[in-house]
Structure 1
Amino acid sequence: MKTLPRMTDWLLGALVLSLLILALSPQQIPVSLYKINLIAIAGVVGYWLDRSLFPYARPDSFMATDLEEIENTVEVEDAPLQFELETFLQNDLLLAASMLRRAVIVAAAMIAVGLGA
Structure 2
Amino acid sequence: MYAKLRDTLRIGPWLILALIMTTAVGMLYPHQLGLLLWSLAKLSWGAYLGYWIDRSLFPYARPGAFTVSNTNGLQSVALLMLRRAIIIAAALIALGLGV
Q: Which TM-score bucket, shorter chain as reference?
A: 0.7 to 0.9
1:89-104 alignment runs, 5 A limit: 89-104=71-86
**RMSD after superposition:** 1.8
- 1:89 deviation in Å? 2.1
Q: What corresponds to 1:109 in structure 2?
A: 91
> Gaps (5+ residues) in structure 1?
68-87
- 1:93 deviation in Å? 1.2
Tell me the percent identity. 40
| CA distances 1:36-94 after superposition (whole Å, capped 9, x unpaired) | 01100110100011111111111112124xx5xxxxxxxxxxxxxxxxxxxx2222111
The equivalent position to 2:15 in structure 1, one of 11, 14, 17, is: 11
Instruction: Provide the TM-score with structure 2 as the length reference.
Output: 0.83
Structure 1 residue runs of 4 or more that deviate by more than 3 Å after TM superposition: none
Q: Which has the larger radius of gyration?
A: 1
